[in-house]
Amino acid sequence: MSIKIEEVKSTTHAQRVAPHSHVKGLGLNNDGSAILPISNGLVGQDKAREAAGIAVSLIKSKKLSGRAILLAGAPGTGKTALAMAVSQELGPKVPFCPMVGSEVYSSEVKKTEVLMENFRRSIGLRIKENKEVYEGEVTELTPEETENPHGGYGKTISGIIIGLKTTKGTRTLKLDPSIYESVQKEKVSVGDVIYIEANSGAVKRVGRSDAYATEHDLEAEEYVPLPKGEVHKKKEIVQDVTLHDLDVANAKPQGGSDIMSMMGQMLKQKRTEITDKLRKEINKIVNKYIDQGIAELVPGVLFIDEVHMLDIECFTFLNRALESTIAPIVIFATNRGYSKIRGTDVNSPHGIPLDLLDRLMIIRTLPYSTQDITHILNIRSNVEGIDISTEANHYLADVGTRTSLRYAVQLLTPAKILAKTNGKTTITREEVEEIESLFLDAKASAKLLREQSEKYLK
Ligand SMILES: Nc1ncnc2c1ncn2[C@@H]1O[C@H](COP(=O)(O)OP(=O)(O)O)[C@@H](O)[C@H]1O
Ligand SMILES: [Mg+2]
């Protein structure tokens, strides 16, 4: 068996990053110390940032695979923000797969299957192949149109003519109409340097040709030299995929080929079945590629937020999976202290079994000072385009110190809406006070429940 790699599409997981969009990295000096009071969107929390920085260097030097890190701290102390910063530091070539513990409880898929899939999303493979390509600067790009053969209105594309120039000369290629789509997807225009894979027809835009470098572009462009050699040649092509991408590309659509299951597939938008057998086979081939030097393993990060939501079955799976030769680095986050391991009657630190705890490096996040909270509120109001008076910000920071940073950050948007209703463009203390009286924070709510417990159903 050989595995398909050409058609592999990247299947990035939808990320819940909106509340952390201001986080651009860990904000560390070259010596690894945290830049204070703010850098890369991160405020304070210096010890945890420095520890995370060390973890990032270990991950980059591949000295951490099969190990795990636990971010532990009270709600709203920046655990998720830190994990996002780690992902930024690792850059786009290292897989980073975020998930929340509760995601494993789905009615359709087994818990361990959810974990396995995310494990494989977190393991990258850099594949280097010599491929036959056509490469050059685009000198011509003309779609060929014909009248619609079915007699309808409009025209259909029957082919595309592409002129490619290198230092050696120019060639004009007449290509299949299917290539027109990839040309459009890559937004190719005359003056770009591109290559077309001869076998798959995949088109890749390398950059803008040097010759056009005097143009005043609004966007930052990458300028590349005119390719050397012939237009038609062999070229080393580097492709970054994850094991999960390979699983998906090689899985067969579920079900038989009878009408009912075909209908089912159409309705359900093609669910594919990835079996253990397929994964084993893919691993075997991946290992062969690695031995042959064609591919290189890039262990990435699986981030499991709210890890206390996992149960003993999941923890057992994780322990075993981390033993495997192909394993990512797992980063957990939890706000639980000593608590019950789900699915058991056993208490354990952070609700995590001891044998897994044994593998962990623990990074603690500490509560913020009022000043830190003021900074963070400023950053978030900027990102969300919210105007807030200095007095209101300080008042809200006090609220945050008493309750939690998250609660304070969450009050920003409703306060803005209230300000608007009051005909103001800036949030003042008045709005913050009113909003605070309308919504309870977790602690206040818990207190109320305790005090008035007899009034609630049990
Ligand atoms: N040190 C920090 N610097 C800047 N923003 C932060 C920092 N810590 C937390 N935040 C922001 O505050 C909010 C709450 O933090 P979050 O990471 O969700 O806390 P946790 O995951 O520990 O409960 C988020 O919007 C987060 O991006
Ligand atoms: Mg969190």
Domain boundaries, the chain: 1-122+300-367, 129-238, 370-451
For residue 251, the model assigns a pLDDT of 84
Asked if residue 310 has pLDDT above 80, the reply is yes
Asked if residue 266 has pLDDT above 90, the reply is no
Pocket test for ligand 1, best of 15, 20, 334, 413 (most atoms within 8 A of CB): 20
Asked if residue 174 has pLDDT above 70, the reply is yes
Q: What distance in angstroms lies between residue 79's CA and the mean position of ligand 2's atoms? A: 5
Residue among 12, 1, 8, 7 at smallest CA distance from 245:
8
Asked if residue 258 has pLDDT above 50, the reply is no
Q: What distance in angstroms lies between residue 298's CA and the mean position of ligand 1's atoms? A: 28
Rounded to whole angstroms, the Cα distance separating 407 from 81 reads 15
Residue range 407-421: mean pLDDT, rounded: 92
Do residues 162 and 140 make contact, with C-beta atoms less than 8 angstroms apart?
A: yes
pLDDT bucket at 89, cuts 50 / 70 / 90: very high
Asked if residue 109 has pLDDT above 70, the reply is yes
- Does the C-beta of 79 come closer than 6 Å to ligand 1? yes
Task: Decide if domain 370-451 falls under CATH 2.40.170.20.
Answer: no
Count other C-beta atoms under 10 Å from residue 184's C-beta: 12
- Does the C-beta of 75 come closer than 6 Å to ligand 1? yes
- Does the C-beta of 27 come closer than 6 Å to ligand 1? no
CATH of domain 1-122+300-367: 3.40.50.300
For residue 442, the model assigns a pLDDT of 76
> Which CATH superfamily hosts domain 129-238?
RuvBL1 DNA/RNA binding domain (2.40.50.360)
340-388: pLDDT as tens digits: 999 999 999 999 999 999 989 999 999 999 999 999 999 999 988 899 9
Q: What distance in angstroms lies between residue 305's CA and the mean position of ligand 2's atoms? A: 6
Strands (E), 198-350: 203-209, 223-224, 232-242, 252-253, 272-273, 295-299, 301-305, 329-334, 338-340, 347-349
Would you call 277 helix, strand, or coil by DSSP? Answer: helix
Rounded to whole angstroms, the Cα distance separating 400 from 405 reads 5
Q: For atom 1 of ligand 1, which residue has the closest CA? A: 43
Q: Which atom of ligand 1 is nearest to the CA of 20?
A: 27
For residue 79, the model assigns a pLDDT of 97
Asked if residue 202 has pLDDT above 70, the reply is yes
Rounded to whole angstroms, the Cα distance separating 198 from 268 reads 34
Token couple for 109: 């898929």
121-144: pLDDT as tens digits: 999 999 988 889 999 999 999 988
Rounded to whole angstroms, the Cα distance separating 303 from 330 reads 6
Do residues 6 and 199 make contact, with C-beta atoms less than 8 angstroms apart?
A: yes
Q: What distance in angstroms lies between residue 376's CA and the mean position of ligand 1's atoms? A: 8
* Lowest-confidence segment of 13-17, 175-179, 420-424 by average pLDDT: 13-17
- Does the C-beta of 405 come closer than 6 Å to ligand 1? yes
Q: What distance in angstroms lies between residue 409's CA and the mean position of ligand 2's atoms? A: 13
- Does the C-beta of 43 come closer than 6 Å to ligand 1? yes
Q: What distance in angstroms lies between residue 74's CA and the mean position of ligand 2's atoms? A: 9
Asked if residue 392 has pLDDT above 90, the reply is yes
Asked if residue 323 has pLDDT above 60, the reply is yes
Asked if residue 216 has pLDDT above 70, the reply is no
Asked if residue 269 has pLDDT above 80, the reply is no
- Does the C-beta of 42 come closer than 6 Å to ligand 1? yes
Q: What is the DSSP letter of 369?
A: P
For residue 337, the model assigns a pLDDT of 94
Rounded to whole angstroms, the Cα distance separating 456 from 436 reads 23
For residue 17, the model assigns a pLDDT of 35
